[in-house]
Chain A
Amino acid sequence: MAYSEKAQVFYGGELKSLKSGGLFKEERYIQSPQKANIKVEFPLGAEPKQVINFCANNYLGLSSHPEVVEAARKGLDARGYGMSSVRFICGTQDIHHELEKKLSEFLGTEDTVLFPSCMEANAGLFEVMLDKEDAMISDRLVHASIVDGMRLCKAQLFNYKHSNMAHLEEKLQETQACRFRLIITDGVFSMDGDIAKLDEICDLAEKYDAMVMVDDSHATGFVGKHGKGTHEHCGVMGRIDAITTTLGKALGGAAGGCVSGRKEIVELCRQRARPYLFSNTVPPVVVAASIKVVELISRSTDRRDKLEESTKYFRGKMTKAGFDIKEGMHPIVPIMLYNAQLAQNVARDMYLEGIYVVGFFFPVVPQAQARIRVQISADHEKEHLDKAIAAFTKVGEKYKILGKKKEEIIAMYGM
């Protein structure tokens, strides 16, 4: 048998060490659509429990929005279920083109190409844009999919300290001899919810003749006055050369991603990006629903405005309650606990209180930076937010962390 005992023992050992290291990820079965109130079976076999979801990327609350679901149904009837093809053989429908056009209009870019996911957009883009005589200069905290995409590209890799513009400038100076340089950053960083300094990055890019790429997955649809993303928020519309983003978070949350930006770069992705060329087209039902999503967010900013207000309210109340929160304006709200076990205990107790949140700790975040990452949604009403604040306060009192800063929490619980 090819699957030898040696292999079986090895894989079994790997799983065991993940479990003993506290890194084993268990899935929770959700028995309802994705929204603020969900029904969860956890642990497996337990009686399903009604909880309020504070850990989805459903920022605009569109994942189960009636108009989006209806558009998906109509799309299913009108264009079928699957395409059984990559885009360039027989997998492109009129609606794929329509969605790409609408995304370009919304994002304020020249052209857009859909990918099966933003992970695949990031896997394909760099290899298309750069070769070995070029340089990729990336923020150190970019998303894992960007790291993987850069590994697939032959260009030399440089990286700069997180959001440190002086360090970025040093790297730009070091790479002057390269043919092309591309500065690579997330628009919003997913663990801290902090926003890239795109205005300063664009200034440096122009000073040193470099291009700029932004992964705006945690921004598209709600960051910026009209929700166009980090480039709108930072006042650099038209100065970003390539944006990658996802349809899998705020924009309905189903699947799909895209590269949007300079028309030549986008067209080259259509011709050469391997994840685009060799994976199936985005399903018609997702495309039809995404068109509706873009229409909804282009027509009104009500949902992003509500999200902004709710985020302000939640951040304010939690700070007042005495929690140590990373400052910012993004609906990712990191509740800092510093100790991994404490983060896990707080998440467990919050679940018992009917609030679904998740603890993050090393190696997902740096050592001694364990936290609960709360994500606010436009689907949350004030009573959802108040319930979460009350539950956090109760659990915070239990662990005596209210009003405590980093050093005090570490003194109590260790790093």
Chain B
Amino acid sequence: MAEDLKKIIIDYVKKEYLEEDSDQEVNENTKLISSGIVDSFSMVSLKMFLEKKFHVKIPDEKATPEAFDSVNNILVLLKEFIKT
């Protein structure tokens, strides 16, 4: 389950934020916000994607740059909201 989520999020980040010809590697530990791959302004679309895809509502106070700074951090955040 966690592996599936990880892949879905990594695929989205690559498609949504990287240029088609980018050779940037993205894995579960890659820094997303602090490295500039996702700026704080573009983070909105990542939050919307997660909410839509996983049928959750992430409160704004939880959607911090730290919480979104890597796929692993996002997985930790999502665990709070995804009903198992």
Contact = CB atoms under 8 A, between A and B. Distances in A.
Chain A contact residues: helix, strand, loop or mixed:
loop
B64 interface: no
Contacts of B39: 140
Interface stretch (B1-9, B41-49, B70-78): B41-49
A161 B36 contact: no
Contacts of A140: 39, 41-42
Contact of A363 (B17, B36, B44, B45): B36
A149 to B, nearest CB: 12
B45 A161 contact: no
B54 to A, nearest CB: 17
A164 B18 CA distance: 11
Chain B contact residues: helix, strand, loop or mixed:
loop
A157 interface: yes
B61 interface: no
Nearest to B35: A367
B26 to A, nearest CB: 14
Interface string B9-23: 000000011010000
Given A367-B35, A367-B36, A157 B44 contact: yes
Contacts of B16: 161
A366 B45 contact: no
A92 interface: no
A159 B36 contact: no
Nearest to B19: A161
A140 B19 CA distance: 12
B10 to A, nearest CB: 17
A165 to B, nearest CB: 13
Interface string B40-70: 0110110000000000000000000000000
Contact of A366 (B36, B41, B44): B36
A159 B42 CA distance: 7
Nearest to A166: B20
Contacts of B19: 161, 164
A170 to B, nearest CB: 9
A285 to B, nearest CB: 36
Contact of A362 (B36, B42, B45): B36
B41 A159 contact: yes
B45 A158 contact: yes
A112 to B, nearest CB: 28
A268 interface: no
Nearest to B44: A157
B12 to A, nearest CB: 13
A215 to B, nearest CB: 15
A366 B44 CA distance: 19
A147 interface: yes
A363 B36 CA distance: 8
B45 A159 contact: yes
B44 A159 contact: yes
Nearest to B41: A147
A415 to B, nearest CB: 11
A161 B45 CA distance: 12
Contacts of A158: 44-45
Nearest to A366: B36
Interface string A151-171: 000000111010010000000
A157 B44 CA distance: 7
A158 B19 CA distance: 17
Given A159-B42, A159-B45, 4 more contacts: A140-B39, A140-B41, A158-B45, A161-B17
Q: Which 7 A/B pairs are nearest by Cβ-Cβ distance?
A: A367-B36, A366-B36, A157-B44, A147-B41, A140-B42, A159-B42, A362-B36
Interface of A: 140, 147, 157-159, 161, 164, 362-363, 366-367
5 contacts: A140-B39, A159-B41, A164-B19, A363-B36, A367-B36
